[in-house]
A and B are shown apart, each in its own frame.
Chain A
Amino acid sequence: MSLLEARDISIAFGGLRALDSVGFAVDPGEVLAIIGPNGAGKTTLFNIVTGLYRAQAGEVRLDGREVTGLPPHALAARGLARTFQNLQIFFRMSALENVMVGRHLKERRRLWAELLGLPSVLRENRESRERARDLLAFVGLAERAEEAAAALPYGALKRLEIARALACEPKVLMLDEPAAGCNPVETEEIDRLIVAIARRGVAVVLVEHDMKLVMRISDRVLVLDQGRVLAEGTPQQVRSDPRVIEAYLGRRGLETAHAA
């Protein structure tokens, strides 16, 4: 049984079938990329699996237990973390504090102790701060820890979101277009980061448009088109699949993929 498994997920918005019986599975340490043209249903699938939308049919299993329809915070408690295509940063906080929020579930919260500022609370703050510093170092933002998140450039914010998600110590990390809007240098950094995360045994699921990145780091690729699974397999299998070439990559896309 896989760590995260989505089966027969379907959802319609109005009359439009956004997803029609779509599924995937991912194991610890594996990188699964979900690709497809705009409107294929990638982000919708993401939002269903992470509890932001509710599927009309199908089920999601995480670590052997059914988690279909659980709210996001309950999924986080079971080891699922994610980032967002359009950044969701806590802009009023420092970079460090953003990551500290990711430690939420690791912190014991007793309101009375917090109000009284008991030593146990201060100790926990210190632990969270240290852990957050480690993670900022891991994503290459150690020097910017104390800066206001609002002052960081776009590429740094992308990595900040990854650090925050990692602070949850997830079993599954879902990255929605982690390299969108990044320049080639930043993309390469994120690429290295994802590989390092997977090597730690985290299952990584990503939606990505950057074909080079997908082909380079994915163990398996799932291709969606108009809400259905078009193909699934290793990057090599997918890029030589004629249906994929026709529907998604096209001639020029195919050349780019080969160039990678």
Chain B
Amino acid sequence: MASGTRTKLLVLGALPLVLLLVPLLFPSPFHLRVAALVWINAVAALGLALLMGLAGQVSLGHAGFMGIGAYATALGPKHLGLDPLASMGLGLLAAGVLAFLVGRPILRLKGHYLAVATLGLGILVHLVLVSEVPVTGGPDGIQVPRLELLGWRVAGPATWYWITGIVLLLAAWLALNLEDSSTGRALRALHDSEVAASVVGVDVARHKLVVFVMAAVYAALAGGLFALFNRFVTPEVAGFLRSIELVTMVVIGGMGSIPGAVVGAALLTVLPQALTLFHEYEHAVLGLLIILFMVFLRQGIVPGIAGLLTRRRAA
């Protein structure tokens, strides 16, 4: 779309700017750690935004793929003696293959049925991580070895801030390119009408599968980054609440919007930290804020604000 190229330029201009500004405004290690978490979550939310926003398919088990990426990165070095980065690569592959195998049958389902099927998938992954204690370390979690690249020990919040930020930038660039391509148009088309998409030649099942696999790989990438950054993972990374959080990020940022996924991820990662001053009311305030956002910016933050701006300009 014509506005698609504009969004692309805007995001690819604004995101590096934000990446540069954050360390200048918030240089403390704590803030950089939170920012790195935002970038990591944003990568997972981006994948989900492609699946939900572009193609209109729901996944309530997406943290499962994050868990696969995270645990592959943790377990490869421990059990197979692999390099952590190579293990992470295997994790992406595993998540992609699992999404491909599971996606075929479950993407035939629609709406609530698809939601429940993906929910089951996420719970299954979580269950395996919790119960296979000898392999995964069980509910107590597992240590992740430090990443070393050609003798360089990758450590420190600032380093991870830049690594995760650049990965996010690349992930957003790929997603924006996809949106404005033949495959992207086909995905948006089947979101609105599968039957109309199919009669103009779109292989609906194949396209849904492609975007499901992509979303899974994005989530696994986020999981792997998280494991390397945090140096410790527990099964909670694949938990149901994490899946819901990811969906909330996409919805609150704006379903069809790639910048929206980043904004949603930022909000849901930063807010709980900022709200700690409310002590035990933290979760209540977070919930309230989410409700308010949904009431006043129903299409999500980014499309909602963009709509307000264009209306003001027109007036």
Contacts and interface: CB of A to CB of B under 8 A. Distances in A.
A47 B181 CA distance: 30
A100 B185 contact: yes
B177 A117 contact: yes
B192 A90 contact: yes
A50 B256 CA distance: 31
A77 B206 CA distance: 15
Interface in A79-109: 81-82, 84, 88-94, 96-97, 100-105, 107-109
A141 interface: no
A109 B182 contact: yes
B174 A101 contact: no
A258 interface: no
B177 A73 contact: no
Contact of B204 (A73, A97, A108): A73
Interface string A61-79: 0000000000111011100
Most buried by A among B2, B173, B198, B200: B200
B206 to A, nearest CB: 9
Contacts of A76: 198-201
B200 A114 contact: no
Given A89-B192, A91-B192, A114-B177, A101 B199 contact: no
Given A72-B198, A76-B199, A167-B200, A92 B188 contact: yes
Contacts of A164: 196, 200
A108 B182 CA distance: 8
A89 B201 contact: no
B191 A92 contact: yes
Dominant secondary structure at the B interface: helix
B193 A81 contact: no
Contact of A116 (B177, B184, B191): B177
A91 B188 CA distance: 10
A1 B74 CA distance: 65
B236 interface: no
A90 B198 CA distance: 12
A90 B196 CA distance: 8
Give the interface residue-count category, chain B.
20 to 34
Contacts, number: 108
Interface in B5-62: none
A168 B196 CA distance: 12
A52 interface: yes
Nearest to A149: B192
B201 A111 contact: no
A72 B196 CA distance: 9
A124 interface: yes
B1 interface: yes
B232 to A, nearest CB: 32
B130 interface: no
A93 B198 contact: no
A193 interface: no
A249 B24 CA distance: 80
Nearest to B56: A92
B196 A89 contact: yes
B1 A93 contact: yes
A128 B186 CA distance: 13
Nearest to A115: B174
A105 B182 CA distance: 9
B249 to A, nearest CB: 20
Given A93-B188, A117-B177, A125-B181, A84 B202 contact: no
A93 B184 contact: no
B178 A105 contact: no
A146 interface: yes
Given A101-B185, A114-B182, A81 B192 contact: no
A143 to B, nearest CB: 15
Nearest to B193: A88
Contact of B210 (A71, A92, A96, A111): A111
B188 A90 contact: yes
B199 A97 contact: no
25 contacts: A52-B195, A72-B198, A73-B198, A77-B201, A81-B199, A84-B196, A88-B193, A90-B189, A92-B192, A93-B185, A93-B188, A94-B1, A101-B186, A103-B182, A104-B186, A111-B183, A114-B184, A115-B178, A116-B174, A116-B177, A117-B173, A125-B181, A164-B196, A167-B200, A168-B200
- In the A-B complex, the 5 residue pairs with the smallest Cβ-Cβ separation, listed nearest first, are A88-B196, A76-B201, A117-B177, A114-B181, A105-B201
Given A90-B192, A93-B189, A109-B183, 4 more contacts: A76-B198, A90-B193, A92-B191, A114-B181
Interface of B: 1-2, 173-174, 176-178, 180-186, 188-189, 191-193, 195-204, 210, 256
